[in-house]
Chains A and B, each alone.
Chain A
């Protein structure tokens, strides 16, 4: 069992409350996943590059990076993570530099708008440790984990990000992740953990790298991913939902003029503003649902 949530704001009305709303949704899903929790928040102007790191002495690392790049790099700390503001186009350089000079530092996500946090512990404690309730943004997805396929570690927590501004949360388990991991490796997609869900994220990244849209990538996933899944996938400007053909794992959505919300169970949506008048529905199996700010 795991819990997943997603909140996509259609307008700016609740942008300053995005983190607070998501914190409540996440902690409501504690029963489904008390091992660890994580979330991705999409915010900011989209100028430059944001890179979320996990590790020690991140402020010092930012200083060193400033010297390395010859440009000012700032770092904003959130608990055990920090978000670097970097010049555009420096992602590969910075990743290589980190791997060489600070191999213990983990890049959890990078892109124009994504910030990605995850940690072991009760969802409410994780949300508090990162100050989620104070965060703002346009959309976000989150996960509460009850581990099945791999160990309870911070690296095994969701979301998984395998491409710029992309991330995925997964409720379920994949049975062909070992063979798929070999295929992806062959294609040059790096999978860092033993986790089955990261393979799904890598698979979508690979398909999109080959020119597929997010919806097309998810559709082909129905053919290539064997197992149980409800996925919520975040991108720079939107999110998408897909359930396996027998809808093994639960899902419920609520839509109003102001937002589209996803959760494993309705009780995670019950606290959202205006939900009593929302269109509440269950997404159908094998059908891709996608929302975007760019249409």
Chain B
């Protein structure tokens, strides 16, 4: 385990050490102490390392992540795991706005709540929020899945493309072109796998969720292009 004290090492140096890693590296387990809400922690990683942030993180934590596992033992600020390509980000507290924004892949798990615009313009990421999410979440979401164990705020899935949304609690309101859809067996099956990957308690079953997606009236969906999502 490599320990880095962020009161002594700059964020730039810390990220530089992580950027130097590859899958042949011996030391793939890292722990950052005293994050104190600093921005841009563990950004742009591209190695199968495991990085733990021992406290609250600031903006853009684990942004652009590929391959790495990043665990935040507190809250994370705006843009957590934004534009993630692959890997796993686990926030044990709450996340602020725009969590998982524009992300193409990987899994973001939030044990607490996410505030506004969670999964905005998501392009393939899976996001599992164990609490509730704020308004305008999954705005223009193109692909991927957003799963919420709690409630969803207003204007959920506004102008959504082909992303899928699953909500277990109440939905305050749906955005333009977002509609509730039938939860078929294949959706429940896939959701069960995703809940398992996110370490969600076994007692919570996919049948408790409602599924939302695009009415496909705002954009030119053509079934021939379905494979692109």
Residues of A within 8 A of B (CB): 246-247, 250, 252, 265-271, 276, 280-282, 284-285
Contact = CB atoms under 8 A, between A and B. Distances in A.
Contacts of B134: 247, 284-285
Interface stretch (B22-30, B43-51, B91-99): B91-99
A270 B36 contact: yes
Interface string B14-44: 0000000000000000000000111100000
A278 to B, nearest CB: 10
Interface string B75-88: 10110000000000
B36 A247 contact: no
Interface residues of B, number: 21
A266 B115 contact: no
B188 to A, nearest CB: 32
Contact of A265 (B37, B93, B94, B136): B37
Nearest to B136: A246
B59 A265 contact: yes
Q: Is chain A's binding surface mostly helix, strand, loop or mixed? A: loop
A280 B135 contact: no
A247 B37 contact: no
A280 B75 contact: yes
Contacts of A276: 55
B56 interface: yes
A230 to B, nearest CB: 12
A266 B97 contact: no
Contact of B115 (A247, A267, A270, A271): A247
B53 to A, nearest CB: 12
Contacts of A269: 37
Interface string B45-75: 0000000000110110000000000000011
B222 to A, nearest CB: 32
Q: Is chain B's binding surface mostly helix, strand, loop or mixed? A: loop
Interface in B112-153: 115-116, 134-136
A266 B36 CA distance: 8
A281 B94 contact: yes
17 contacts: A246-B116, A246-B135, A247-B134, A252-B75, A265-B77, A266-B56, A266-B77, A270-B37, A270-B56, A271-B36, A276-B55, A280-B74, A280-B75, A280-B93, A282-B94, A284-B115, A285-B134
A247 B120 CA distance: 14
Contact of A250 (B38, B55, B93, B96): B96
A68 B77 CA distance: 55
A15 B93 CA distance: 30
Given A265-B77, A270-B37, A280-B56, A252 B135 contact: no
A267 B38 contact: yes
A265 B134 CA distance: 18
Contacts of B94: 280-282
B10 to A, nearest CB: 14
A246 B39 CA distance: 23
Given A276-B55, A284-B115, 12 more contacts: A247-B116, A247-B135, A250-B97, A252-B77, A265-B39, A265-B58, A266-B37, A267-B37, A268-B37, A280-B74, A282-B96, A285-B135
